[in-house]
Amino acid sequence: MTAADLETVYEALAKQLDAIAQDKRDLFLAKLVLLLSHDLDDASQVLSRIRESAANIDV
């Protein structure tokens, strides 16, 4: 993924999050993770990404 592609995803996600009611954003993100996990088709990679994403949450 190029830096430009990443930026495109970043912006689309920000806009979509704003378009969704605040109390539904968790649901939206959880759906997205399930869907992307299915596309990725690699449970162990998803599991390590889950651990990595949980790091520094309270910084």
Partner 1 sequence: MRPAGRSDTDSLYFDYPHFDPPAERDALSDPVPVAIVGAGPVGMTAALALAHEGVRSVLLDAKDTFNDGSRAICISRSSYQILERLGVLAPFLEKSLPWTTGRSFYRGQQILEFEMPDGLSEKFRPMYNIEQQYIEQFLWQAIDREPLIDARWQSRVTGVEDTDDGVMLTVEDLLDRYHMKADWLLAADGARSTIRGLRGLRLKGENHEGRYVIADVQMNHDYPTIRRALFDPDCRRGGTVLVHRQPDNIWRIDYQLRDGEDASDAIREEAVRASVASVLDEIGHSGDWDLEWWSVYSANTLALDDYRDGRIFFIGDSAHIVPIFGVRGLNNGLADASNIAWKLAWVMQGRANAALLDSYTPERRGATLDVFANASKSARFMAPPTAGWQLMRDAALNLALSHPFAGTLANPRQMSPYTYADSPVIAPDDPAFSHGPVPGAPLPGTRVGDGFLSDCLGDGFSLITFDGALERHLDDLDLTIVSLPPASDAAARLAATSSSAYLVCPDAHIAARWAEATPKAVRDAFTLAIAGDTT
Residues in contact with partner 1 by CB under 8 A are: 26-27, 30-31, 33-35, 38
Q: Is 46:37 a contact under the CB 8 Å cutoff?
A: yes
Cα Rg of the chain (Å, integer): 13
Nearer to partner 1, 6 or 27 (CB): 27
Nearer to partner 1, 6 or 50 (CB): 50
Shortest distance (Å) from residue 36 CB to partner 1: 11
Which amino acid, residue 38? H
Nearer to partner 1, 4 or 54 (CB): 54
